[in-house]
Structure 1
Amino acid sequence: MGHSPLIAHLAVWLLALLPGLLALPYVGGGLDNAQGGLNALGRLAGIWGLALLLMAAALCCRVPGFDRPFGGLTKLWQLHHRLGASAFLLLLAHPLLLAFSATGTSLDAAVGTLLSTQPASVWGWVALLALMAFMAPSFGFFGEPDYQRWKWLHRLSGVTVILALLHTGLLSRTLPGWLAWGLWTTLALLAIAALGYRWLYARWRGRSPYRVTGIGHPARDVVELTLAPEQQHMGYRAGQFIYLTPEWGGHVGHDEEHPYTLSSAPDEPDLRVAIKDLGDASHAMLSIPEGTQLWVEGPYGDFFSTVSARPELWIAGGIGITPFLGRVREAVRAGRSLRVHLIDCVQDETRFLFADELKAAFEGWPDSQLSVHYFYREGPLNQAFIQQVCPDVADRAVFVCGPLPLLERAREALSACGVPAGRLVTEEFVLL
């Protein structure tokens, strides 16, 4: 098997929890009564909340290759999401716990603690409000977020980090000065370096220019673009994805950055991406003219990192066929057979993308099989269908890519088929 993302995830959580663990000896003396216990918990909540916030910021750098130890950028983004959510809850609890601890003195003391007008407290509340503003779309508090608005609001994270550090620097009394300075400086530098790379270096130096040299339409609402490099060709592995930012006018979403999976084989001279009409940016790409320049950043993802001697089962849904298409094209170009069973889940025959190419490839591989699941005829994907077309599913390494409803159904069905979680790899379409 390939590397385990568990080690990288545990290392991040350990580093984020380290400041609070180091602070435990300095708050332990107040745990002998309720008032002291609440005060200690309030201080620890603030320390852990800030540390988790800084680690979440540090993981937003999006350096190509940095995501691989975490299982790909999607898995890294999910870790970032969990760190941010935990930080938000802890930072929200921080002033409330301190205020509750002050009720042992008087109600006025509790209100004064919660609504203090000291500059340090004011900066803390401003930081918390900014955190609420950019976290709300991420967790769908007001419904499904607009992608570009979500990305813009996420830039408030830099403001939140600065204000939270200012609050901590003015009020921190739990850790000794030298220890507090060392910890917060280290974590702050990691966060600042990540934010600087993401919003400055990556935007101006971390992207490569490509030009549209070919346009195909495998379906009415799908386009496959061929992109030729204007400088050095980007190296990548089958199943990875890139961020594209086109430079042309006339349509809503024409200049928006979005992630798209590469459908080309890694040894092709040009890149190919298949794009489905799913929003303003992808809709605009359906009518992009040949010759348009685009900026490419990447590659990202680690979908096919798992190495196994087992035969594979691929389950694709809609445009989720693209990472598998890259693997197929790579094998065809190399004259190599695969041992794989592909279940392609589509709405109907008109939505069977790249049908002729896939059928031709699988016909030439004696140990492979292609099954098409038509939703209009079979209904949602289920255990019975998988076991019917692939009886040895429990002995295979399984890869699933598609929209979230398909992933949820596939996980449930595969578990019922006896596939252990350790042999299931998924690629989700989430905000990145």
Structure 2
Amino acid sequence: MSAEPTSTPTRAAAHRLVAPAAALSITVASVWWAFPQGLTAWRSAAIVAAWAGTGLLVASLLLMVREAHLARLLGGLELSYRWHHRCGVIAYLLLLCHPLALALDGWAEAPHLAWQTLDPRAQSWPLWLGWAGLLSLMLGLATTFAVHLPYRRWRSFHFVLGGGVVLGLAHVYVLLGNERLLLALLLVAALALGWRLLASDLGLAAHPYRVTQVEKPAAGMIEASLAPCAAALAATPGQFVLAAFGDGASYHGCGEYHPFTVSGIDRQGRLRVCIKALGPCSQRLQDVEAGVLVRLEGPFGSFLDDLGCAPQLWVAGGIGITPFIAQLRAQGCRQATTLIYLYRQASNAAFLEELAAVAREDPLFELLADASGEALPDVDRLLASVSRLGERQVHLCGPQALLAAFTTALRQRGVAAAAIHFESFDFR
């Protein structure tokens, strides 16, 4: 996200529209191509619902592709995932309307025809494919909303959604044959599923790195230094990578890709990432050792891109300090910058001594550190300490409750919404 006051926020806003526009274009093209003529109202509604749902399913697959250049084009990985989820849910509802509308069309002729339409036992195998696809979507979406499901089990069930898409497209293919639009949708779906499975989940497109050093900047947190084994990622401060840690001499990695914010970048392509113990995998990573092979995907995000020349206000809560320490380590401050750094207690304050040293040496950098404990901090008191608040570009990184409290307070003090930037990194 940008700190430019005019053109860059407009460009960022335009990028946020690319993902929904792409999904809408695929959906409208599908419905336009298959729009029924001369049919009854309910049968026409069934066909429109089926093709709209199919278009949204294919768009959902496209939006789940985990590739850095595509993610940037679509407004960021988190935004792509959000629209991937929305498209999947809407597609399922539309596809659920498809057999119901066909049943209502049969009801208009004879009630027993409506039941035959909904009874798979009375149908042929091409229609069984459609029912199997719909049931797979139902199972996959049900587990998507199960936020307390263990990650590995959640991911396994999530793959059922891909199977549902394949079955649904096979259902349409058997019924319609080699239609050009259908073949195009099948190709997009196959490429998206293939890329996600082979390049992303199996790591064939990942960059190999190796852990060279592990430090503990705070309680329940490590900072791992990673050196590239081949071509390095072109990461910038404010970005994050998806990392899968392998095994070491006395360490067994979980092998799953998880997002970690870059906390340091050097000219040789070496990276540092901060990992806080939040779940089973990140808990295990607290014991990672030097020599472990790491596969990285990305980089993703644009949180601190194009800071511009306006004065800055940075607000960091806990592990949210990582993009800001990366920026200070890479370039320092090019404009007046105030950092409000919030943590529960001194043992949780990562990089506090390093930040204090920067504040002593750099006249452009001001540090306001505050141990707020378990409760939300006194936002009014902290913002009252910031001079020229209305002129600043604000970047927030931390827990959702903290971001919401600061956003509300900033808006009440006249800070424009376009001047407030944050990334929540709350996707799985």
Q: Do both proteins adopt the same fold according to a TM-score greater than 0.5, normalized to the shorter chain?
A: yes
Secondary structure at 2:256 match in 1:
coil
Alignment match, 2:397:
401
The residue identity in structure 1 corresponding to 2:141 is: M
**Aligned partners of 2:35, 2:254: CA distance in 1, in Å?**
55
The residue identity in structure 1 corresponding to 2:419 is: R
**Aligned partners of 2:29, 2:209: CA distance in 1, in Å?**
45
Deviation at 1:50, TM superposition (A): 0.9
Deviation at 1:24, TM superposition (A): 7.4
Is the deviation greater in 390-399 or in 71-80? 390-399
Alignment match, 2:325:
325
Alignment match, 1:416:
412
Contact kept? 1:55, 1:187, Cα under 8 Å: no
Unaligned runs of 5+ in 2: 1-6
The residue identity in structure 2 corresponding to 1:400 is: L
**Aligned partners of 2:398, 2:79: CA distance in 1, in Å?**
15
1:132 and 2:138 are equivalent in the alignment? yes
Deviation at 1:257, TM superposition (A): 2.2
For normalisation by structure 1, the TM-score amounts to 0.88
Contact kept? 1:127, 1:160, Cα under 8 Å: yes
Structure 1 residues 122 and 376, CA gap change in structure 2 (3 angstroms): same
Deviation at 1:204, TM superposition (A): 4.8
Deviation at 1:252, TM superposition (A): 7.6
Structure 1 residues 415 and 197, CA gap change in structure 2 (3 angstroms): same
Is the deviation greater in 384-393 or in 63-72? 384-393
Out of 94, 106, 120, the position equivalent to 2:126 is 120
Contact kept? 1:383, 1:416, Cα under 8 Å: no
The residue identity in structure 2 corresponding to 1:139 is: F
Alignment match, 1:59:
63
Contact kept? 2:225, 2:273, Cα under 8 Å: yes
The residue identity in structure 2 corresponding to 1:229 is: P
Alignment match, 1:18:
28
Deviation at 1:20, TM superposition (A): 4.6
Structure 1 residues 189 and 347, CA gap change in structure 2 (3 angstroms): same
Structure 1 residues 129 and 373, CA gap change in structure 2 (3 angstroms): farther
Alignment match, 1:44:
48
Out of 99, 107, 110, the position equivalent to 1:106 is 110
Q: RMSD of aligned C-alpha atoms? A: 2.5
Instruction: Spell out, residue by residue over 1:250-296, the C-alpha distance to the aligned partner (whole angstroms, 9 max, x if none).
Output: 77863222121110135354210110001111111111122212222
Structure 1 residues 429 and 6, CA gap change in structure 2 (3 angstroms): closer
Structure 1 residues 407 and 97, CA gap change in structure 2 (3 angstroms): farther
The residue identity in structure 1 corresponding to 2:322 is: T
Contact kept? 1:242, 1:259, Cα under 8 Å: yes
Alignment match, 1:248:
247
| Mapping 1:336-415, distance limit 5 Å | 337-376=334-373, 379-381=375-377, 384-415=380-411
Deviation at 1:164, TM superposition (A): 0.6
The residue identity in structure 1 corresponding to 2:368 is: S
**Aligned partners of 2:407, 2:48: CA distance in 1, in Å?**
38
Aligned pair count reads 414
Contact kept? 1:337, 1:365, Cα under 8 Å: no
For normalisation by structure 2, the TM-score amounts to 0.88
Secondary structure at 2:108 match in 1:
coil
Contact kept? 2:358, 2:365, Cα under 8 Å: no
Secondary structure at 2:260 match in 1:
strand
Contact kept? 1:225, 1:272, Cα under 8 Å: yes
| Mapping 1:188-227, distance limit 5 Å | 188-202=186-200, 203-227=202-226
Instruction: Spell out, residue by residue over 1:226-272, the C-alpha distance to the aligned partner (whole angstroms, 9 max, x if none).
Output: 11122222221111111211221777863222121110135354210
Structure 1 residues 134 and 393, CA gap change in structure 2 (3 angstroms): farther
Secondary structure at 2:418 match in 1:
helix
Secondary structure at 1:304 match in 2:
coil
Contact kept? 2:53, 2:90, Cα under 8 Å: yes
Structure 1 residues 125 and 367, CA gap change in structure 2 (3 angstroms): same
**Aligned partners of 1:134, 1:242: CA distance in 2, in Å?**
26
Structure 1 residues 389 and 253, CA gap change in structure 2 (3 angstroms): farther
Unaligned runs of 5+ in 1: 31-35
Contact kept? 2:35, 2:47, Cα under 8 Å: no
Contact kept? 1:383, 1:417, Cα under 8 Å: no
Deviation at 1:7, TM superposition (A): 4.1
**Aligned partners of 2:266, 2:145: CA distance in 1, in Å?**
35
Contact kept? 2:16, 2:79, Cα under 8 Å: no
The residue identity in structure 1 corresponding to 2:302 is: D
Structure 1 residues 204 and 217, CA gap change in structure 2 (3 angstroms): closer
Alignment match, 1:33:
none
1:312 and 2:312 are equivalent in the alignment? yes
Alignment match, 2:4:
none
Structure 1 residues 307 and 357, CA gap change in structure 2 (3 angstroms): closer
